[in-house]
């Protein structure tokens, strides 16, 4: 289901890019078009949350300024917080950097915020704070499984009804909820726990009945400058004249969209609805194909098998895998030793850039030695 949903989001994002370009920068409908793109990005983030819970999501870590990330989220967070709840954000000074998937960290903060609001049905105070923390052995022992070291810390504190020891011991269990039937999925805090753990961090909870709750997230501090998010600008695609790209994608709308994007960038583009058809096209072409852009999961033949067969015929072929999820990790042996991965949903910009990166022979990942 998540794979199908990401295909739909690819179509929404792709056609939004086309509309924004054709409207022109001064058109008053530009703002509405950009809202569509933002909504699609948010939907993609929610999909990543579900996939992270299922351990099927490919994380995309980058160096993050956590203060900047939370500050940018404050407008959204205030919409989530009811009027009878006082909300404050206390940004730590000279905050260090972390390395994590920004969308996943956003989801952690959203889930903890929603959880805090639900714990205050008659109102209260919600505080998010960040700061640098040096964890010594004593503090680490008090917050297992936290290890001593340098961390960036984000805490979400509420003045709600709190919880007893039995509830606190189970809150991160999948599908565990204290809410009445139909009011909670039991996935929110389980997802928070999974994301924090996958990010190399630790989460600790302090709560007593009637005394609110405090969720502390510790993420390892790293060196380096924060990597800025790219604005939602319509790029000018570089023009190419000689490269031939073969697209193998079983979803017709995604296949057509990818064809249009790459053709507009100047490539010669061939399309196939599955691996069998892609092999037939390659065999009958009579000239080499420079790049294969293939969905990973397709009927009749997986994209990884298609890539392997075409690579056997042409060692110089560049491979770009695309998928809404990963059913296996990169060390499983399914991927070729050199390849590129394009996460669905993708935009025109990311597709064109990924193909150009492949053709420039800049390896993105290699198979881990077994």
Q: What percent of the chain has pLDDT over 70?
A: 81
What pLDDT is attached to residue 274?
94
Torsion of CA 223, 229, 235, 241, to 10 degrees: 40
pLDDT beyond 60 at 233? no
DSSP state of 155: E
Q: Which helix (H) or strand (E) element contains residue 215? A: strand 213-220
In whole numbers, what is the pLDDT of the chain averaged over residues? Answer: 83
What does DSSP say about strands 213-220 and 62-64: parallel, antiparallel, or unpaired? Answer: unpaired
Q: Is residue 58 part of a domain?
A: no
The neighbour count for residue 44, using CB atoms within 10 Å, is 22
Across the beta sheet with 124-135, what order do the strands follow? 85-90, 124-135, 149-158, 213-220, 202-207
Overall size of the chain counted in residues: 370
- Quick one: 70 and 197 in the same domain? yes
Q: Which helix (H) or strand (E) element contains residue 152? A: strand 149-158
User: Which is nearest to 69 in space by CA: 46, 92, 50, 48?
Assistant: 92
- Quick one: 100 and 210 in the same domain? yes
Q: Is residue 238 part of a domain?
A: no
- Quick one: 96 and 128 in the same domain? yes
The neighbour count for residue 165, using CB atoms within 10 Å, is 10
Asked if 131 and 87 count as a contact pair (C-beta separation under 8 A), the reply is: no
Q: Which helix (H) or strand (E) element contains residue 239? A: none
- Quick one: 305 and 348 in the same domain? yes
Angle at CA of residue 36, ends 98 and 353, nearest 5°: 60
- Quick one: 283 and 346 in the same domain? yes
The CATH number of whichever domain residue 138 belongs to comes to: 3.30.565.10
Q: Which residue has the higher pLDDT, 27 or 204?
A: 204
pLDDT beyond 60 at 329? no
pLDDT beyond 50 at 327? no
Q: Is residue 234 part of a domain?
A: no
Q: Is residue 225 part of a domain?
A: no
Residue ranges making up the domain that contains 252: 244-366
The CATH number of whichever domain residue 346 belongs to comes to: 3.40.50.2300
What does DSSP say about strands 124-135 and 149-158: parallel, antiparallel, or unpaired? Answer: antiparallel
Cα four-point dihedral sign 244, 357, 364, 17: negative
**What mean pLDDT comes out for the span 317-334?**
67
pLDDT in tens, 102-154: 988 998 999 999 999 999 999 999 999 999 999 999 999 998 889 999 999 99
Q: Is residue 138 part of a domain?
A: yes
- Quick one: 342 and 297 in the same domain? yes
């Amino acid at each position: 289901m998540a794979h199908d949903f990401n295909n739909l989001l690819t179509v929404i994002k792709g056609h939004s890019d086309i509309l924004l370009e054709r409207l022109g920068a001064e058109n008053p409908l530009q703002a509405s078009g950009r809202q569509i793109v933002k909504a699609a990005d948010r939907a993609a983030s929610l999909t990543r949350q579900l996939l992270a819970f299922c351990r099927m999501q490919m994380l995309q870590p980058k160096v993050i300024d956590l203060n900047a990330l939370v500050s940018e989220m404050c407008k959204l967070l205030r919409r989530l917080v009811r009027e009878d709840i006082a909300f404050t954000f206390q940004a730590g000074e000279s905050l260090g950097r972390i390395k994590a998937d920004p969308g996943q960290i956003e989801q952690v903060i959203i889930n903890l915020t929603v959880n805090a609001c639900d714990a205050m049905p008659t109102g209260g105070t919600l505080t998010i704070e960040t700061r640098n923390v040096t964890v010594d052995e004593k503090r680490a022992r008090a917050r297992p499984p936290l290890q001593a070291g340098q961390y960036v810390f984000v805490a979400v504190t509420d003045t709600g009804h709190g919880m007893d020891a039995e509830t606190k011991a189970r809150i991160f269990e999948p599908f565990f909820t204290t809410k009445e039937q139909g009011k909670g999925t039991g996935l929110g805090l389980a997802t928070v726990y999974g994301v924090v753990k996958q990010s190399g961090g630790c989460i600790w909870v302090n709560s007593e009945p009637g005394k609110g709750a405090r969720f502390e997230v510790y993420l390892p501090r790293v060196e380096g400058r924060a990597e800025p998010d790219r604005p939602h600008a319509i790029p000018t695609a570089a023009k190419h004249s000689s490269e031939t790209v073969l697209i193998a994608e079983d979803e017709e709308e995604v296949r057509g969209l990818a064809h249009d994007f790459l053709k507009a960038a100047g490539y010669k583009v061939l399309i196939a609805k599955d691996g069998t058809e892609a092999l037939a096209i390659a065999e009958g072409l009579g000239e080499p194909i420079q790049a294969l852009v293939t969905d990973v999961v397709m009927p009749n033949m997986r994209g990884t098998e298609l890539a392997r067969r075409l690579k056997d015929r042409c060692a110089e072929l560049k491979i770009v895998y695309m998928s809404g999820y990963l059913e296996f990790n990169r060390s499983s042996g399914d991927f070729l030793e050199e390849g590129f991965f394009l996460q669905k949903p993708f935009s025109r910009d990311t597709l064109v850039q990924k193909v150009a990166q492949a053709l420039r022979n800049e390896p993105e990942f290699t198979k881990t030695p077994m």
